[in-house]
Amino acid sequence: MNILVTVGSTPFPSLMKAADALAAKHPAFTVRCQTAEPDLTLVHAESFAWTESIVDDYQQADLIICHAGAGTVYALLEMNKKIVVVPNLERADHHQLELTDYVAQQGYAVACHSLLELESAVFSAIEQKNTPYNKEPFFLANNLVQYFGL
Amino acid sequence: MGSKPKVIVTVYGEGGHAEEAERLVRALQASSPTTQFASLSDVKLVPDWSVLHLDILDFRHKMTGKLNFKAPLQAFKAVRQLRQHAQVVGCLSTGPGTAIFPVIILRLCGVKVVHVETSCRFYQRSLTGSAMRFLANRFIVQNKELLKIYPKAEYGGRL
């Protein structure tokens, strides 16, 4: 089981610690962490701060544990990946709770509101069959071009 | 003035905001392939669609919430530099608060501004959305749920 942990551009140290603990407890899991922290090294999980080819990592992972950033979550849903969404409450604002709750309510992903429950969330995600992501694509592009007089 | 290229300037911050700006530009390029785009951002990576990429500063630190009082001056410098090189015919903002000062300055310069609120909001106003609903000429939401708290917004589907 290849597990990718990704946090986008904002560090999320407690998630990294929990992911490292997960890797220690389950040697059958290969855990790779995109940390957004160049100086952070993990003991049991592989880590890297940033990559320009994160989509390749998404494709290779069987399961992804991610922060609830819109760019990450929607990209993964569009790829029909199994994901565990963890809101980053170490930020100054707690807006990631909204997207976390939304994807869980829609059945698109498993939400993990407490890192103490990360392990059970991972097993839930492995077993759960997600609702396929469906969106109404942006339809105002022509309208905006005309609005700007182009 | 006539020799300057016409551009739409896109104002955005890191992470999902940059991704949404990218998707928004791609959507407009599909409708109008010859349109040129410039960019104002605190993201250092220059997008391949941008003919001119200028640095701005986030006015609030993501982790600490600490305000950066250099942000307004940097926004002013960036907009001035942009207008020296291009005729700005419109502005697209995808937030976050990074976009507020550039948008104020662009509006004062008579530029039409369209703000697309982040798709990670469903039930509560963001600080950026609270400001942009007054600052922008058009305020577009990607989630229908937001129409309850922004009654004058337009729903545009999701990027």
CATH number of B6-155: 3.40.50.2000
Q: How far is CA A36 from CA A15, A82, B37, in A?
A: 12, 22, 29
Close Cβ partners of A81 (under 8 Å, ≥ 6 residues apart): A58, A61, A63, A64
B66 has a pLDDT exceeding 90: no
In this structure, chain A runs to a length of: 150
Among B1, B2, B159, residue whose Cα is nearest residue B92: B159
Average pLDDT over chain B reads 94
- pLDDT confidence of A95, banded at 50, 70, 90? confident
Q: Is A53 on the interface with B (CB under 8 A)?
A: no
Put simply, the answer to whether A137 touches B8 (Cβ < 8 Å) is no
Residue B64 · residue A92 · CB < 8 Å: yes
The alpha-carbon gap from A134 to the nearest alpha carbon of chain B, in Å, equals 10
* pLDDT value of residue A93: 78
Close Cβ partners of B135 (under 8 Å, ≥ 6 residues apart): B100, B103, B104, B107, B113, B115
**pTM of the full predicted structure?**
0.90
Using the structure block, give the residue that is written with the tokens 């976009």: B99
Residue A146 to residue A75: CA distance in whole angstroms: 29
- pLDDT confidence of B62, banded at 50, 70, 90? low
Residue B35 to residue B159: CA distance in whole angstroms: 19
* Cα torsion angle, B112, B44, B77, B130, sign: positive
B2 has a pLDDT exceeding 70: no
Residue A46 to residue B15: CA distance in whole angstroms: 23
Percentage of chain A lying above the pLDDT 90 cut? 92
Chain B residues in contact with A101 by the CB 8 A cut-off are: 122
Put simply, the answer to whether B16 touches A136 (Cβ < 8 Å) is no
Q: Is A55 on the interface with B (CB under 8 A)?
A: no
* pLDDT value of residue B51: 97
Count of CB atoms situated within 10 Å of the CB of B151: 8
Residue B39 · residue B21 · CB < 8 Å: yes
The alpha-carbon gap from A122 to the nearest alpha carbon of chain B, in Å, equals 23
Residue A68 · residue A50 · CB < 8 Å: no
Put simply, the answer to whether B89 touches A149 (Cβ < 8 Å) is yes
Q: Within the 97-126 window of chain B, which residues sit less than 8 Å (CB to CB) from chain A?
A: 112, 114, 118-124, 126
The alpha-carbon gap from B73 to the nearest alpha carbon of chain A, in Å, equals 24
Among B41, B50, B53, residue whose Cα is nearest residue B12: B41
Chain B residues in contact with A9 by the CB 8 A cut-off are: 14-15
Single-letter amino acid, residue B8: I
pLDDT in tens, A49-82: 999 899 999 999 999 999 999 999 999 999 999 9
pLDDT in tens, A21-41: 999 999 999 999 999 999 999
The mean-pLDDT minimum among A6-10, A136-140, B152-156 falls in: A6-10
- pLDDT confidence of B67, banded at 50, 70, 90? confident
- pLDDT confidence of B59, banded at 50, 70, 90? confident
Assign residue A44 a region: left if phi > 0, alpha if psi is -120 to 50, beta otherwise?
A: alpha
B63 has a pLDDT exceeding 70: no
DSSP string, B15-61: THHHHHHHHHHHHHHHH-TT-EEEEEES--SPPTTEEEEEE---SB-
Could you state, in order of their start, the residue ranges of all structural domains in chain B? 6-155
Put simply, the answer to whether A140 touches B124 (Cβ < 8 Å) is no
* Cα torsion angle, B46, B47, B52, B53, sign: negative
Give backbone dihedrals phi and psi of A72, rounded to 5 degrees, phi first.
-70, -50
Residue with the bigger pLDDT between B116 and B66: it is: B116
Q: Is A147 on the interface with B (CB under 8 A)?
A: yes
What stretches of B45-119 show up as alpha helix (H) in DSSP? 71-85, 100-108
> Which chain A residue shows the shortest CA-CA distance from B118?
A70
Q: Is A8 on the interface with B (CB under 8 A)?
A: yes
Which value does ipTM take for this structure?
A: 0.93
Give backbone dihedrals phi and psi of A122, rounded to 5 degrees, phi first.
-65, -45
Put simply, the answer to whether A70 touches B112 (Cβ < 8 Å) is no
Q: Is A87 on the interface with B (CB under 8 A)?
A: no
